[in-house]
Amino acid sequence: MSRKSERLVNLTIALLATKRWLTKSQIFSAIDGYEGEPDAMERMFERDKDDLRNLGITIEVGSFDPLFEDEVGYRIRPENYRAEIGSITPRELSLISLATQAWQGAVLDSSALSALVKLKSIGIDSDFDSIPAISPTARVSDKNFAIVVDAIAQRRTISFSYLDQNLHPENRALEPFGAGTKNGFWYVAGRDLDRKGLRLFRLDRFSSDIKVQGKPGSYEIPDDFVMRDLLISPAKANLATIKVRRDKAHLLRSKASTIDEGDEWTTLTVPYVEDTEILADVLWHCNDAFIVEPQQLRQSAITALNELVKCHD
**Of 64 and 146, the one with more pLDDT:** 146
Domain definitions of the chain by residue range? 2-81, 90-130, 143-231, 238-312
Please choose, from the candidates 167, 169, 176, the residue with its C-alpha nearest in 3D space to the C-alpha of residue 211: 176
Q: Residue 108 pLDDT > 50, yes or no?
A: no
Query: Is there a shared CATH topology between the 2-81 domain and the 143-231 domain?
Result: no
Sign of CA dihedral 146, 150, 152, 156: negative
Percent above pLDDT 70 for the chain = 71
Q: What is the structure's pLDDT at 210?
A: 92
CATH code linked to domain 143-231: 2.30.30
Mean pLDDT, range 66-85, rounded to an integer = 64
Mean pLDDT, range 36-60, rounded to an integer = 84
126 forms beta bridges with 18
Q: What is the structure's pLDDT at 159?
A: 95
The angle at the Cα of 52, spanning 51 to 54, to the nearest 5 degrees, equals: 65
Beta strands in 164-237 (DSSP E): 169-182, 185-192, 197-202, 211-213
Q: What is the structure's pLDDT at 96?
A: 45
The confidence band for 130, taking pLDDT boundaries of 50, 70 and 90, is very low
Q: What is the structure's pLDDT at 212?
A: 93
175 forms beta bridges with 191
Q: What is the structure's pLDDT at 291?
A: 94
244-280 as b/e: b if 16+ CB within 10 A: bbeeebebbbebbeeeeeeeebbebebebbbbbbbbe
- pTM reported for the whole predicted model: 0.41
Distance, CA of 44 to CA of 32 (rounded, Å): 12
The confidence band for 266, taking pLDDT boundaries of 50, 70 and 90, is very high
> What are the angstrom distances between the C-alpha of 74 and each of 17, 49, 109, 121, 291?
12, 10, 23, 19, 50
The confidence band for 123, taking pLDDT boundaries of 50, 70 and 90, is low
Q: Residue 193 pLDDT > 80, yes or no?
A: yes
CATH 3.90.1570: does it fit domain 2-81?
Answer: no
To which H or E segment does residue 267 belong? Answer: strand 265-272
Q: Residue 158 pLDDT > 90, yes or no?
A: yes
Q: What is the structure's pLDDT at 237?
A: 65
> What are the angstrom distances between the C-alpha of 94 and each of 56, 82, 88, 182?
22, 16, 10, 14
The confidence band for 290, taking pLDDT boundaries of 50, 70 and 90, is very high
Distance, CA of 151 to CA of 139 (rounded, Å): 18
Q: Are 270 and 243 in contact (CB under 8 A)?
A: no
Percent above pLDDT 90 for the chain = 15
Q: Residue 279 pLDDT > 70, yes or no?
A: yes
The confidence band for 192, taking pLDDT boundaries of 50, 70 and 90, is very high
Q: What is the structure's pLDDT at 183?
A: 63
Q: Residue 121 pLDDT > 70, yes or no?
A: no
